[in-house]
Amino acid sequence: MKYRQSYWEAELYNQTYDLIVVGAGLTGQSTAHFYKKEYPNTQVLVVDRGVFPIGASTRNAGFACIGTVGEHLADLEIDSEAKLKERIKDRFEGLQLLKSTLGEKAIDYQETGGWELVLDKKIFEKLSRHIHRFNGWMEELIGEKDLYEAGSYNGIPSIYNRCEGMLHPGKMIKRLYQLNRDLGIEYRWNTQISSIEPESGILVIDELLSYEAENLVIATNAFTNQLLPDKSITPGRGYIFVTNELESLEWRGTFHYNKGYVYFRNLGEKRLLIGGGRDIDPKGEETDEFGVNGDVKGFLLYFAEEVLGLPDGWKVEQEWSGIMGFTESKSPVFEKINENCLVVAGLSGMGVALGMQLGKKAASEV
């Protein structure tokens, strides 16, 4: 429905904001949060195309994690050691900031520890040989001694990381939204930005409606190329399902398998959440459309049944997808287009840990 604004609406809504953030995921809402805290007398607006954020922030697995040995080794094949170390530190500090800003209780944070399961004996030996090296990194980066430890979980060789945990992504976003509303930040839901004019600080919705700001932050993660086609962020769909209540659940904590491509955790006392498997059909999952890929789902069903040995009577009770934004090296894009417009996107599947920290950094740079 297109309409012209009335005199009254124009007078009310056509102000020039100090800051407009596009994208109400964790990154965008955190940007608005820290900006408004720093400059309480400014007008700050967050816009999102959804009735609530519809990307990754409320559709993820809720792992508060800093990376497994297998993930670090895979990352070293596409990024430098210096960059990877910087990212690990950012993930750790991002999680501390998230917990202190929102409160652990409000987001159901639990420090359960995390296990990387390794089914192949040779791969387990290889990963175990690197534990000493990555423990050295962790001591240097986050001050934790002997973080990784080889062992087994339910008879499967595993590497344990005691500093990982889980949270409730819906509660995380709800809490941040409440804090932002209390700070006086404005929101426009159901507002798809169709193009931006970074030079003049204008966000175009349609031919009759636009918003204007002194500063713009684009926090649209996987969908950034729709607004800024040269940013080379590749979308990657992630699939998750949750089981019914099980008679017995023998998996408690957070778990990764195959460089982090598969992940699962307990959800309360009786349910299991399991997700991932993008590597089963990498091209098919390189999409910004929500949906379920039968091959990915088939693999995760097999994994749950045959590897995790879920008890008789288990079934999928709920399933969904979310869209991640990947950069080639997995390091996020954090870039000023000009003095007044900044892009922060491409959190490459690590945004629960990185999102708030990056938002805070964006707020300090616009």
Ligand X SMILES: Cc1cc2nc3c(=O)[nH]c(=O)nc-3n(C[C@H](O)[C@H](O)[C@H](O)COP(=O)(O)OP(=O)(O)OC[C@H]3O[C@@H](n4cnc5c(N)ncnc54)[C@H](O)[C@@H]3O)c2cc1C
Positions touching ligand X (CB under 6 A) are: 22-28, 47-50, 53-57, 59-63, 192-193, 219-223, 226-227, 238, 240, 275, 322-324, 347, 349-353, 355
Min dist. Cβ of residue 195 to ligand X (A) = 9
Min dist. Cβ of residue 30 to ligand X (A) = 8
The H or E element spanning position 99 is: helix 81-102
Rounded to the nearest 5 degrees, what angle is found at the Cα of 355, between the Cα atoms of 82 and 228?
90
Residue number, 124 or 346, with CB nearest to ligand X: 346
CA 69 from centre of chain:
20
- Nearest Cα to 359, choosing from 339, 347, 348? 347
Q: How far, in Å, CA of 5 to CA of 122, rounded?
A: 67
Q: How far, in Å, CA of 88 to CA of 91, rounded?
A: 5
Min dist. Cβ of residue 232 to ligand X (A) = 16
Other beta carbons less than 10 A from residue 123's beta carbon: 15
Other beta carbons less than 10 A from residue 289's beta carbon: 8
- Nearest Cα to 243, choosing from 293, 305, 325? 305
Min dist. Cβ of residue 91 to ligand X (A) = 8
Residue number, 124 or 225, with CB nearest to ligand X: 225
Min dist. Cβ of residue 33 to ligand X (A) = 12
Min dist. Cβ of residue 226 to ligand X (A) = 6
Min dist. Cβ of residue 325 to ligand X (A) = 7
Min dist. Cβ of residue 121 to ligand X (A) = 28
Contact status, residue 194 vs residue 296, Cβ threshold 8 Å: no
**Percent helix, strand and coil across the chain, each to the nearest 5:** 35, 30, 35
Contact residues for 287 (Cβ-Cβ < 8 A; gap 6+): 235, 237, 323
Min dist. Cβ of residue 78 to ligand X (A) = 17
> Which residue's structure tokens are 């050295």?
136
Residue number, 19 or 219, with CB nearest to ligand X: 219
Angle, in degrees to the nearest 10, between helices 351-365 and 26-38: 40
The 10 Å CB-count burial string (b at 16+, else e) for 333-356 is beeebeebbbbbbbbbbbbbbbbb
Min dist. Cβ of residue 69 to ligand X (A) = 17
Residue number, 124 or 164, with CB nearest to ligand X: 164
Angle, in degrees to the nearest 10, between helices 81-102 and 131-142: 50
Residue number, 11 or 317, with CB nearest to ligand X: 317
Q: How far, in Å, CA of 139 to CA of 159, rounded?
A: 17
Residue number, 63 or 153, with CB nearest to ligand X: 63
Residue number, 158 or 191, with CB nearest to ligand X: 191
Residue number, 67 or 157, with CB nearest to ligand X: 67
Residue number, 59 or 72, with CB nearest to ligand X: 59
Residue number, 53 or 157, with CB nearest to ligand X: 53
